[in-house]
Structure 1
Amino acid sequence: MPKIRPPAVAGQFYPDSVLRLQDFLNEFLVSPSPCDTAPVTALIVPHAGLRYSGETAAIAFSVVDPARWRHIVLIGPTHHRWFHGIAVAPHDFFRTPLGEVPVDTAVCNALVAVDTLFEMNEDAHVPEHALEVELPFIQHLMPECPIIPLVCGDLTPDEIRKAAAALEAVLPPETLFVVSSDFTHYGERFDYVPFAEEEAPEALRKLDHGAINEITRQDTNGFMRYCERTGATICGQRPIAIMLALNELRQAGGNFELLHYTNTGEMLEDYSSTVSYAAIVYRAAEVEDDLVMSEETVDVLLNVAHDAIASELANEEYHLPSTAPPHLYDNGACFVTLRLRGDLRGCMGTLEAKESLLENIERNAVNAAFHDPRFPPLTATEFRDVDLQISCLTPRRPIASIDDFELGRHGIILEKDGKHAVFLPQVAAEQQWDRETTMRHLERKAGLRAGSWRQGSQLYVFETICCASPEHRAESD
């Protein structure tokens, strides 16, 4: 029987009436603007009662593209139980008045297995409001998306980085990262009065924005030092630090953006006891075509592919260039294609960016030349006449139907029953296939029976930025 975590604060922090809750969500959640091209991959949202912080949280959730995400990390601080480490929810579902939110139990179990910092801890989750308050927003935007619910206890700076490393090792692609945190809690009842009440309107804003500046600078150590130095009562400072440390590990290259800031002192015109709220989002870096495809970049990428193959043929160790443009050391995914006198001679690639683009090109060039199961290993004689093509991939995104698949522009991925297959954008164009024909060939490549892609399958599209030159011939040394 499924284990369900019942609501703890419905009717207190948010309405227990389905209609009232839906009315609030319909009013304050708006569709992302078409001009928001850089995808939001993480956000910091408050968790007080909706009458105080709901509008701020809605501002952040409104810029999330629901179609991009298949998993959600929901991480926040503990308010009711003291413990050391990170409490993982041992539940199958979290319930709210809107229904049940599925828990990604596979990822939860993997986190517990990978690092002892993560422990199943029901007691930490049952009374905790920090995660629960965010659930209606998630249910409204992404009702089928499973959550990975984590409550943070006490953690040292080293443990914060360990937790980030464990998350990086375990989290699947297409995981949205949601941190639930209020900012400064000021007043006698919070045992935090670093300045007089009459100074609070200006001093509180300055204190909070000092922390926000460390976040936007993406400085994990700076943020933790700031909180320690000022004593800032940011309840979710450890979850925020984990997110910053995770971004450092990923070398993500995007930017944090403050969308909204307020506090209850400002709302109620009473600063004797006040809590601050911020809506902060992280926008992933957008790769500009003209940057990636500059002449210098093309030469570097093609030379890496060529030299990696040449070194393998010579049984020599290959070393990546140390003076390439800096953005090529960022994580990237690609396919490397070899053609011999116009005919395919090997093609291997990676769909997810798990290593630097240069490392990925080196790996896939060697795999395409020597480990493509459709062809025997490339010979030195063939190498003299091989043409190289590198297709750098944008992040994949799910599509609802093949009507969203643009021939010649999109590559397409089919996943079903543990099987998958992919075509680069040029495949359908070169073969002059229409959408239906492309899908027939794609499901055949995946080892699926005819027509099975129409039900129960996941479809994704991506785009590629290609580096190829007919004159760039691979030459033996």
Structure 2
Amino acid sequence: MPASATSAASIRQPVVAGRFYPADPAALARETAAYLAESGAPSDKPTLLVMAPHAGAVYSGPVAGKTLGAANLADTLLLLGPNHTGRGARLAVWPDGAWRIPGWDVPVEAALAEALLAAAPGLSPDRAAHLGEHSLEVLLPFLTAVRPGCRVVPVAVAESRPGVLAETAQAMAEVLAAWSRPVSIIVSSDMSHYLPEAAAKKRDCLALARVLALDPQGLLDVVRREDISMCGVLPMTLGLLIARALGATSARLAAYATSGEVSGDFDQVVGYAGVIVEN
């Protein structure tokens, strides 16, 4: 919806506009459209889950655009991102209102947020975890471009206990399965951080093999065992658990790149991957 259509008290203000992506609405729309234009045609099959990166657009925008442009998303989106700041609850739901990006307010699907909070004791209504966190914000320009009428439920995930993640995922999946409208899950994650490119690619391949196998516990295990600095491993573990409970059958790698391809510095790169999961 156009900006200012929701009361200011419930609007989550952008924190990285002008740094990670343009602060000018027209420039942001042009840049986002250019990244999305690099994707192929959207899938005919509904997309259950997407993983996309969240760095500055100049670095991760091409992968995010290729991935989200090729997805066939629902208009209701469950957003799962990491908590880089350490603030707030371990499983923090922004419960209502809207999230603002330049020129646009993305409404929160408050009824779904309420249903998820009621069903999953591990979830908490918590804004603090989101206020300084960029990982979900930077995907919103892409999501509003491909689904202008989308509504979202943002969740910051810092819970690392496998049992809690599994219990929460099962409860969330039951709500989504019974929901009156389709819901797609969007996971925000970068891959390896600040390694030589060859080392980053090697580690990222190990993690992505478990993602593509729809193996959430395997993903968590390999990231811990191989010390892979995948910042969104916890939201992706939760997302895969939900997707499996909803009957996910296949996953494909939509795009992969490193920051070195833009910066020219191949000694300390960050990896970016895009994954699409379908039933």
Q: Normalising to structure 2: TM-score of the pair?
A: 0.90
* Largest Rg, 1 or 2: 1
Q: Structure 1 169/122 Cα, relative in aligned 2: closer, same or farther at 3 Å?
A: same
1: CA distance, partners of 2:258 / 2:264: 10
- Checking the alignment, whether the CA contact within 8 Å between 1:5 and 1:91 is kept in structure 2 is no
Whole-angstrom distance in 2 between the partners of 1:111 and 1:283:
22
SS at 1:270 equivalent: coil
**8 A Cα contact 1:45 1:181, kept in partner:** yes
AA aligned to 1:178 is I
Give the partner amino acid of 2:191.
F
1:37 aligns with 2:44: yes
Q: Of 85, 91, 100, which aligns to 1:86?
A: 91
How far apart in 1 are the matches of 2:229 and 2:59? Answer: 18
Give the Å deviation of 1:49: 0.5
Q: Which amino acid aligns with 2:239?
A: M
1:219 to 210, 215, 218: 215
User: Size of the alignment, in residue pairs?
Assistant: 268
User: 1:269 maps to what in 2?
Assistant: 264
Residue of structure 2 equivalent to 1:244: 240
Q: Distance in 2 between matches of 1:32 and 1:201?
A: 26
1:60-119: CA deviation from partner (whole Å, max 9, x where unpaired): 1111235xx231011100011245521001341101113100001111122222222111
> Which residue is equivalent to 1:177?
185
The residue number in structure 1 matching 2:3 is none
**Deviation string for 1:31-63 (max 9, x for gaps)?**
7527x4333321100000101101110001111
**How far apart, CA to CA, are the structure 2 residues paired with 1:120 and 1:33?**
37
Alignment partner of 2:14 out of 7, 26, 39: 7
1:160 to 158, 165, 190: 165
Aligned partner of residue 246 in structure 1, secondary structure: helix
- AA aligned to 1:182 is D
What per-residue deviation string (whole Å, max 9, x for no partner) do you get for residues 243-270 of structure 1?
Answer: 21112222332x1111211111343232
Structure 2 gap ranges (5+): 1-6
Change in 2 beyond 3 A, CA 1:98/1:140: farther
Alignment partner for residue 20 of structure 1, among 4, 27, 32? Answer: 27
2-structure distance, mates of 1:115, 1:41: 20
The structure, 1 or 2, with the larger RCO (C-alpha pairs under 8 Å, 6+ apart) is 2
Q: Distance in 1 between matches of 2:137 and 2:233?
A: 18
Per-residue deviation, 1:153 = 1.4
Answer whether contact 1:214 1:223 (CA < 8 A) is retained. Answer: yes
- CA 1:49–1:64 in structure 2 vs 1: closer, same or farther (change >3 Å)? same
- Overall identity of the aligned pairs, in %: 31
Q: Give per-residue Cα distances to partners, 1:320-345, cap 9 Å, x unaligned.
A: xxxxxxxxxxxxxxxxxxxxxxxxxx
Do the aligned partners of 2:89 and 2:124 also contact (CA within 8 Å) in 1? no
Partners of 1:81 and 1:123 within 8 A in 2:
no
Unaligned runs of 5+ residues in structure 1 are 188-199, 285-477
| 1: CA distance, partners of 2:259 / 2:98 | 32
Question: Superposition RMSD on alpha carbons, in Å?
Answer: 1.8
Name the structure 2 match of 1:50: 57
Find the residue that maps to 1:65 and give its secondary structure. Answer: coil
Q: Distance in 2 between matches of 1:238 and 1:214?
A: 14
Q: Deviations over 1:126-172 (max 9, x none)?
A: 11100100111111121211101000113201111112112112222
Alpha-carbon distance in structure 2 between the residues aligned to 1:60 and 1:267: 18
* Aligned partner of 2:108 among 79, 100, 103: 103
- 1:203 and 1:275 map into 2 onto residues whose CA distance is 11
C-alpha distance in structure 1 between counterparts of 2:87 and 2:172, whole Å: 22
Partner-residue secondary structure (3-state), 2:70: coil
Matches of 1:184 and 1:57, distance apart in 2: 16
1:273 shift after superposition: 2.9
Check the 8 A contact 1:98/1:136 in 2, yes or no.
Answer: no
- The runs of 4+ residues in structure 1 deviating greater than 6 Å are none
Residue deviations 1:176-210 (CA, integer Å, cap 9, x gap): 111000001125xxxxxxxxxxxx23222111011
